């Protein structure tokens, strides 16, 4: 089975690029997929993203300092997004650090695209002068495997 997964990884050519305004409409979908559901648990209703404590991650994205992100595309379709905002939400540690959120569409998880996306997001952060992040998403643990040791992460495991 491992060899078939490796073959799929090689066949998927994901393009990682900075998020642009026309991508903002995809954030609702990726916010929904960022909601943690324990293994074997039932998925949330989609309207959970509209609760104020959740919607704050995407409401009017692009209008605040620190609203930065990247997307992953496969065959011209956005299949993943990583973005950050500076806001005082559960898990934030500093009012100057972007709080990072990200997710992949389920068929594209476990293929290494998320790690590439996170690496590109860190490049975007560095270019914009950020050296630290905060977040609590489970996938953010990939941070430890990135090539950017100068970016410190504060996150909840």
**Alpha helix segments (H runs only) across the chain:** 2-11, 27-34, 52-55, 113-127
**Mean pLDDT score of the chain, rounded to an integer?**
80
Q: Which two tokens stand for residue 28?
A: 């609702």
Domains in the chain: ranges and CATH:
2-155 (3.40.630.30)
Q: Give me the residues paired with residue 71 across strands.
A: 17, 81
pLDDT tens digits along 15-72: 999 999 999 999 999 999 988 777 888 888 999 999 998 899 999 999 998 899 999 9
DSSP, collapsed to helix, strand or coil, labels residue 89 as coil
CA distances from 96 to 107, 143, 156 (A): 34, 19, 18
- Give the pLDDT score at 40: 85
Which SS3 state, helix, strand or coil, does residue 117 take? Answer: helix
Per-residue pLDDT, averaged over 92-117, amounts to 84
Q: Indicate the range of 10-14, 17-21, 52-56, 126-130 predicted with least confidence.
A: 10-14
Please give the residue that has the higher pLDDT: either 85 or 39: 85
> Which stretch of 12-26, 97-111, 124-138 has the lowest confidence by average pLDDT?
124-138
For residues 34 and 49, is the Cβ–Cβ distance under 8 A?
no
> What pLDDT was estimated at residue 150?
47
């Amino acid at each position: 089975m491992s060899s078939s997964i490796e073959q799929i990884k090689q066949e998927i050519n994901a393009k990682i690029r900075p998020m642009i305004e026309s991508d903002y409409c995809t954030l609702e979908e990726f916010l929904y997929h960022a909601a943690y559901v324990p293994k074997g648990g039932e998925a949330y209703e989609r309207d959970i993203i509209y609760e104020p404590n959740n919607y704050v991650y995407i409401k009017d994205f692009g209008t605040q300092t620190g609203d930065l992100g990247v997307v992953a595309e496969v065959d011209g379709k956005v299949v993943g997004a990583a973005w950050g905002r500076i806001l005082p939400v559960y898990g934030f540690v500093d009012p100057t650090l972007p709080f990072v959120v990200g997710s992949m569409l389920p068929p594209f998880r476990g293929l290494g695209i998320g790690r590439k996306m996170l690496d590109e997001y860190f490049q975007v952060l560095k270019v914009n002068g950020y050296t630290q992040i905060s977040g609590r998403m489970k996938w953010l643990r990939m941070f430890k495997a990135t090539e950017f040791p100068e970016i410190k992460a504060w996150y909840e495991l």
